[in-house]
Each structure stands twice: as C-alpha cells, then as structure tokens.
Structure 1
C-alpha cells in the first residue's frame, strides 16, 4: 500500500474517503506532524495503491495494520473521513490492541443506502481518449448531474498518459465493491465494541450522521464523544480546516501516553 510518513512522536494514521487519496487530509497532517509521526495512506483502489477486484473493511483494516507493522508502530491514533472512518472503526473493532484512539469524521458504523449512483454513472460514461481534456471531462461530469465542486474533486483522479488520460483509481473495483463500502458487516471475533476513546465529528449540514445512528455508535463505541461542526457538510475537514484541525489535535493530545 502506498503511504507517506513524516514527523516524530506518537503515530497518527490518516485515512481518506471514497474517490480520494492521501492528499485529502494533508492539511491536518501538516498540523499534526509538528508533534507526531503522521502516516497518510492511499486506500487500495485509490491513488498509487494496488488495485483490488474486491475490497471490504476487514481486508482493508488488515492492510492498514500491515502498514503499521512495516513502520514498526505498535499503536497509533487513527483519523478517518467517510469511508476512511469506517476503515478506522474496523481497525479498532478487529485489532483493538493496535489503536490508541479514534477520530471519525462524518460517518457512522451502519449500512447506508446507495447514494453515489449519479457519480458512478458520470464516471463510467466519460470517454477517455486522445481528444479528452480536463475541461471537457469537467463539462461531462457536470452535465451528468454532478455538482462542480464534486466534479473537480473527482477529476483529481485523472492522470495523463501518452494517449490522453486514465483513472488512477480502480473504478471497476470500486463499483464491484460498492455494496460492501456502504455496508457494515464485520466478522467480529468476540469483539463487538471498542473500549478506548473515540471522537465522532459530524458536519452540521450533512445527513451522514443523524440521531437515528446514535444508539449504534454508542453500542459499538461506548466511550465515544461527539462534536458538530456547524456550517459544514460532508467535507467538513476541507470547509472549516482550522477548526477541524484544532478539534482533532486537541483530542489526540488528550489521549496520548
């Protein structure tokens, strides 16, 4: 798995969401690396990491533990946004001895209904050839019903080749794994909850973490605390980075040692 490690101190692993890459949480990493070893990863099927035909949370959690092993890290604080938050929670439930604390950004440990059909339709219908430009690709995605900020974000996955462009991400693998990405089905081995500190941060204008999910959050993460970042949606870390970074930094500082 592709990752970047910087800084020294207690380790913090940062995990991005669907369609993202390790740069998504780079701003947070720059703040944390002043006092911590920060590891930013490309999740499989994203960025420069390997492509898997099928991916699920137990597999990815194990792969993240392999990264910690590769760096000789016994325990880490883990921060995850969206899909990355589910990966972080899977790590905590399946490998609790390796996790010091969790920060989960705008996601809950539940199964969601599909909500990316328009995005997948726009991406799969985009023809990538020698005539494709970033401008034409952006126009295609917007015409497919994807808002411009999301379209711009998705197009960060385009990379230039000799014959035009190709996707860095494994689009077919993500489509094939989508039911498992929005699902929450862990083969727990005698461990259905995580007894260490966890912080859930939700966007005030997001519908990813609602009151109906509170019981499941508290059942699986009984020591969880929660914060709402008003004036933000699902991309809370990008919309109010200074406040988000401060909340995460303070929580990790409180749970060192």
Structure 2
C-alpha cells in the first residue's frame, strides 16, 4: 500500500522526502516543507500507522523504509534527499542503509542510530486512557492527559492527532494499539548492515539528550561522511522551537 503524502514545490526540482516522528504526522514538519518548497520538490509523508496513512501490525524500520521505497517508485524518483525527525530520522537512516544508491544527502534531526530506553510510558498511558474514555472534546482529552503529562506543549502536539473518525467519534489518527505493542521495536536501533557513504548531517538541539557524546562512534561507523550541527536554545522539537536556524542548516547542507 502507498503511504499518504503531500507534494509541494516544483516537481522538476531535486526531491526532498520529509519524515515525521512518533505520534506525529506530515503536518508536524510543514514548517520545514514550506521553507524547502521554493527550491525543491518536497514530498512530506505520513508514516504507516500515523496521520492519514494505512494501519498495519508491523512497525519495523526495514518495513517503514520500504514504504518510502514504494512511494519513490510510484513517483518515479531515482535519487532524493532525506530529512527525518526522531523516529522518522531512524526511518531515513534505515532507508539509506537499504537503498543507498537512491540517497543524495541525508539529514537526521535529533536522533542517533542506537537503541533507546523507554521515554514515553506516561504518554502511552495518557493516550490509552483517552482512547478508553471515548471523549467528546479535545478539552476533555487534555484534562485526562494532564494527570499524566505536565507539559502543555506535549499535550497540544498529541491532540493534533485526535480527530473524528468515520463513525463521528473522536479517536487517535495514529494506531495506538500497534504503537503500544511494538514500542520496543520503535525504540530499538535500525537494522545495521553496512556503512552508508552518503553525505549526512545530524542536527541536534543543544538541550536534548537524544544525541550524546557516547553515540559518536555508532554514527561514525554507520555514516562515516557525517557532520554535526547543534542548534542553540532548542530541545528535541528543534524544528518547532528554532525553525529558522533548522531550516537554514538543512538548506545550506543540501544545496
């Protein structure tokens, strides 16, 4: 099946694939897509089990990378730039591992090719509580989630995926059951097979702990042509917190 996507910019320009993170959708990276659209053919995607894409029981990185491959084949794109945030950064890295010949430049936003310990237990508990309650408004859902999640910005991000389904009920657009079941797969590392020689840029928020000094060896082993950029005053959601600095870093690198 084909993932949902949104294409902007001139189709004759070099193509950039933009891939969002866990619990997100293509809307989350529209700030990046808009900045790139004047010079690139931008394809912003909803990963499987997210946004308006199909739901499926598999959430492995090779399978999600293959979804991107199927989309490129459909769009007849032989070579692309890839930009991925968080889980989407791992999908982009996995694609580069499997289909290196189709990658021009790779941009990874605040994630490393390593396994992570659980970081979303409270979020998953909050989301499941909302799902079980069958809420009638986003404000009701926000009230439920506030007992699990202190940060209003995190709750607002998640609530963007709460929408009416075909039955007219509010429901999560992402496939919460599968995400909950496959969470260990999502937090695990990508499948390593070889070093990818594509030019790669890792962009880190200086307040984030997703890319740490101890990850340097893993990055260098899998992406020996990688360089790093640190965005000051930003955390894990660096593209939302410092969009101008992130967009300029991406554009300077891929141009």
- In the other structure, the counterpart of 1:156 is 160
Give the match for residue 193 of structure 1: 195
Matches within 5 A, 1:53-132: 53-126=57-130, 127-129=132-134, 132=136
Q: Secondary structure at the match of 2:183?
A: helix
The TM-score with structure 1 as length reference comes to 0.94
> Which of 140, 143, 147 is matched with 2:147 structurally?
143
- Indicate the residue corresponding to 1:172 in structure 2: 177
> Which deviates the most, 199-208 or 161-170?
161-170
Given that 1:13 and 1:76 are in contact with CA atoms closer than 8 Å, whether structure 2 keeps it comes out as: yes
Whether 1:181 and 2:186 are equivalent positions in the alignment is yes
- Cα distance, 1:89–1:141 mapped onto 2, change above 3 Å: same
Query: CA–CA distance in 1 between the matches of 2:89 and 2:254?
Result: 16
- SS of alignment partner, residue 101 of structure 2: helix
CA contact (8 A) 1:123 1:141 kept: yes
Q: Secondary structure at the match of 1:103?
A: strand
State which of 134, 137, 155 in structure 1 corresponds to 2:138: 134
Considering only aligned residues, what root-mean-square deviation do their CA atoms show, in Å?
A: 1.2
Q: Distance in 2 between matches of 1:231 and 1:145?
A: 22
Q: CA deviation at 1:164?
A: 3.1
Cα distance in 2 for residues equivalent to 1:44 and 1:154: 17
Q: How far is 1:185 from its partner?
A: 4.3
CA gap 1:6/1:185 in 2 versus in 1, 3 angstroms: closer
Matched, 1:206 2:208: yes
- 1:221 corresponds in structure 2 to 223
Deviation at 1:175, TM superposition (A): 1.0
* Partners of 1:5 and 1:242 in 2: CA distance: 21
What 5-or-longer segments of structure 2 have no aligned partner? Answer: none
Alignment TM-score, normalising by the size of structure 2? 0.95
Render the CA deviation track for 1:111-138: whole Å, top value 9, x for unaligned. Answer: 0011100000111112443x52111111
- Superposition deviation, residue 30 in structure 1: 1.0
For these two proteins, the number of residue pairs brought into alignment is 249
Residue 5 of structure 1 aligns with which residue?
Answer: 7
Residue 152 of structure 1 and its aligned partner are, at CA, apart by 0.7
Contact 2:23 2:174 in 1 (8 A): yes
CA–CA distance in structure 2, aligned partners of residues 115 and 144 of structure 1: 13
The answer as to 2:33 corresponding to 1:29 is: yes
Unaligned runs of 5+ in 1: none
